[in-house]
C-alpha cells in the first residue's frame, strides 16, 4: 500500500515470506519491516507464546534486535498514537505487539531516499494471535486502538531521549493513513500539534535512508562478530 505522497518508482517486488519452526514471517510493503506470526501453544492451563524470536529476526533483517528499553501503552478505544519516529542517528528499531485488546497498526516509510519512501502498510494486532511488527530505524509508526484497555508492548533498540523523539500529524491528508473514521479519534496534545509531512520535510526532520542503512550495517557487524 502506498500513501499519496509517494513518488513514482519501479513496481514493488513480491513480499518475502518464510517460516521457522516457531513462527511465520512476512515482509511488509515498507522496506525492512516484517510481520511475525508466532505459534501459540494452548492447553487446558491456558497458552504459551514467544512473539520475539532471535532466529526469525536475524533471518528476516540480517541482525539481532538490540534491546535497550521496553515500553507499554494502554489505550481506550479510538485512541491514535503516532506517527512517531526517532532522529537517525541514533535511530531506533522497534518490535511492537499487542498483549491485550486489538489495534490497527500502521508503518509508513518516512526515510528520505528510501526505495519505498511514502509506502505504508497496516496489520491488525491482537492478544489472540500475538502477531508482532519489526520496524527499522527511520520508519514511522502509529496505531489506532480498536478496544478499550488495549495494551501495546514495544521493545526498542535505543533508550528514550525526549529531544530525539519526532512525530508527524497522523491525520495529515498527505500521508493518507487508512483510518476508518477521522472524527472520533483521541490524540495526545503532542500528536495533535505534530507538524504535517510538508512541514517536517521543510524543517529537515525526516531521517535519511543512507543514515538508517548505516545503523543497520553496524548491527549486522555486531551480530556476526558475536557469532
Q: State the catalytic residues.
A: 84, 154
Neighbouring CB atoms inside 10 A of 42's CB total: 9
Longest CA–CA span in the chain (Å) reads: 57
Residues 108/100, Cβ–Cβ less than 8 Å: no
Amino acid at each position: 500500500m502506498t500513501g499519496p505522497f509517494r513518488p513514482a518508482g519501479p513496481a514493488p517486488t513480491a513480499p518475502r515470506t518464510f517460516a521457522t519452526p516457531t513462527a511465520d514471517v512476512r515482509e511488509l510493503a515498507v522496506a525492512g519491516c516484517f510481520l511475525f506470526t508466532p505459534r501459540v501453544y494452548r492447553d487446558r492451563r491456558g497458552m504459551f507464546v514467544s512473539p520475539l524470536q532471535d532466529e526469525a529476526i536475524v533471518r528476516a533483517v540480517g541482525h539481532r534486535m538490540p534491546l535497550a528499553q521496553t515500553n507499554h501503552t494502554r489505550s481506550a478505544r479510538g485512541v491514535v498514537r503516532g506517527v512517531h519516529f526517532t532522529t537517525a542517528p541514533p535511530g531506533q528499531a522497534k518490535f511492537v505487539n499487542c498483549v491485550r485488546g486489538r489495534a490497527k497498526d500502521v508503518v509508513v516509510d518516512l526515510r528520505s531516499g528510501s526505495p519505498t519512501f511514502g509506502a505504508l502498510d497496516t496489520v491488525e494486532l491482537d492478544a489472540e494471535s500475538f502477531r508482532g511488527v519489526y520496524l527499522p530505524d527511520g520508519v514511522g509508526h502509529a496505531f489506532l486502538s480498536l478496544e478499550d484497555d488495549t495494551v501495546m508492548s514495544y521493545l526498542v533498540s535505543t533508550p528514550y531521549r525526549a529531544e530525539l523523539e519526532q512525530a508527524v500529524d497522523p491525520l495529515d491528508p498527505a500521508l493518507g493513513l487508512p483510518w476508518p473514521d477521522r472524527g472520533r479519534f483521541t490524540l495526545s496534545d503532542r500528536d495533535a500539534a505534530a507538524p504535517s509531512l510538508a512541514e517536517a520535510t521543510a524543517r529537515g526532520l525526516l531521517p535519511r535512508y543512507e543514515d538508517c542503512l548505516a545503523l543497520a550495517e553496524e548491527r549486522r557487524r555486531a551480530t556476526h562478530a558475536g557469532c
